[in-house]
Amino acid sequence: MSRITDTHIPGSILLILFLFFFSVYLLTSSGHNPSLDAELRYQLTKSIVEKGTLTVPDDIGIPGVDSRFYSFYGLGQSLLAIPLFIISKPITWLLNTPPDYAGEFMFCILNTLLVSLMCVLLFKLLIDMRYSYMVSLLTTFVFGLSTPVWFYAKYPSDNVTIAFFILLSFFLAYRRKFFLSSLCLGFAIITREYAVLFVPFILIFLIHLRSENWKRHVFGFVLGIIPFLAVVCFYNYYRYGNAFQNASMPFPYGVGAVTWSDGTSPWTNFIPYGLYGFFLSPGKGIIFYSPIILLSIIGFFYLMKDNKLIFSVSMTVITLYIIVLSAHRAWAGGMFGFGPRFLIPIFIFFMIPLASYLKKFFYSKGKLIFLLLFSLGIAVQIGGISVNPQRYVYKISLLTEKKKDVDVINSFRYFPIAGQFINLKETLNNIKRKDDFNIKRGYYTNYKELLRYQATINLPWFWWIFTYYVNMPRIVTFIVIILLLSLAIFSLVKLLRYPDRKRVD
């Protein structure tokens, strides 16, 4: 692997790229925590800042060894959100919004920032790999707009935190900065412990460099990751009195990594069944939620010719990660979210072979099929971001009370993508009667009441819709929307008209 040299892309282009995605994501943000999982991580951030403790409210946490209540997730996302939570305090005072409204909004913006930065990192990584400007830009547009990454830029899932630090770790490892790479991987691990599954990609780089001070690189890698493993052990001991007991490896079911709370092992799923679920099931199949992945699969053959090292890394990470998760009975993560949320950390490894496909075919016979699948993917994501997916979950739960989640996930009768567009039509009609809904949560006792009264379930899922229910001046909302639209259009035009792009191509 040759050393990376400076590229032709100026920092201004990277900034414009960031501003484009940030403005799009912020414009389509939800601005609130839609699930108990997100609320847990937000409340942990709040407790750290306001109380200096690691506890959470009794009604949402799990009891620890000291009879206090704790989040069953890792520390990563909650720690990362601390600066944004602090910023929310003056916003609450300036706009006179209800308690926690600005705090939750800023907590959601964390993923908006991280996914925007991921798009910039991917673009820069592809440029460093000597893909052309347009191939790198198109691949980045695919990643940011035609995969469920767009949805999770507005949904405060900690899988985005993991994905960001995995990509940053990969980027740094490619540049031979193994100590910094291990620090990033370590932060992913304190977010959720199953991020250790990404250790092999750094090991592959180290093996490749076995004749170039590889012992020093191994030492730097180990030195960087050990403190984070110690943090995981400390946090487990603090909560449960046992450094090796946790509640989130790989999913928050039960209280241990090996067994669930009922004493059974979660690692008994039939692996081919999990593989089918991740790729082809109507509820979670990556092919349906990001059709462009079909071209990525083809692109692997060309990536093998372009860059054998990156091909080996990508294939190893994808294969190991998906097979391990397929062996877990909770591979689907329930019906919540949009698409295969546990695959978000590996979407980046599907994008590099896509760049190899575009390099080979975009300027010839492969252009039409690319544009078709790209557009189809964008349409799917628009359905996902426009309506709170919990509306789908609640409606389906009322129809299938006795069915297991996996039975629903594997049935085309309850196809979530189609359900999102049906729900979009219903929520657009509901705008006419906004006064019938309430933005307060935790007030309703069952799904029927939620589907009748809850504003965040029954209206289009954008923050600027919900400002109707708070004290934010409408002129402020209008100005922000116009500014974000203008910034997105301006940035897109600048990116497509970059004067030196032919020289880079």
**103-126 confidence digits (pLDDT tens):** 888 888 999 999 999 999 999 999
Instruction: Give residue for tokens 């993560």.
Output: 333
Interatomic CA distance for residues 88 and 362, integer angstroms: 45
Q: Where are the domains of the chain?
A: 25-255+271-387, 389-473
Q: For 199-248, how does the pLDDT look when each residue is reduced to its tens digit (9 = 90+)?
A: 887 778 777 765 566 677 777 788 888 899 899 888 888 888 877 776 54
pLDDT grade for 504, boundaries at 50, 70 and 90: very low
For residue 256, pLDDT over 70 is answered with: no
Torsion of CA 186, 188, 192, 193, to 10 degrees: -30
Strands 69-70 and 62-63: antiparallel
Residue 251: the pLDDT is 40
Distances (CA, A) of 478 to 49, 54, 310, 461: 32, 38, 46, 17
The mean pLDDT of 251-278, rounded to a whole number, is 66
Residue 341 burial (CB count, 10 A): 21
Residue 404: the pLDDT is 62
The mean pLDDT of 139-162, rounded to a whole number, is 94
Residue 91: the pLDDT is 79
Q: For 350-406, how does the pLDDT look when each residue is reduced to its tens digit (9 = 90+)?
A: 999 999 999 888 777 778 889 999 999 999 999 999 999 888 888 888 877 655 666
pLDDT grade for 254, boundaries at 50, 70 and 90: very low
User: In degrees, to the nearest 5, what angle opens at C-alpha 316 toward C-alphas 313 and 317?
Assistant: 85
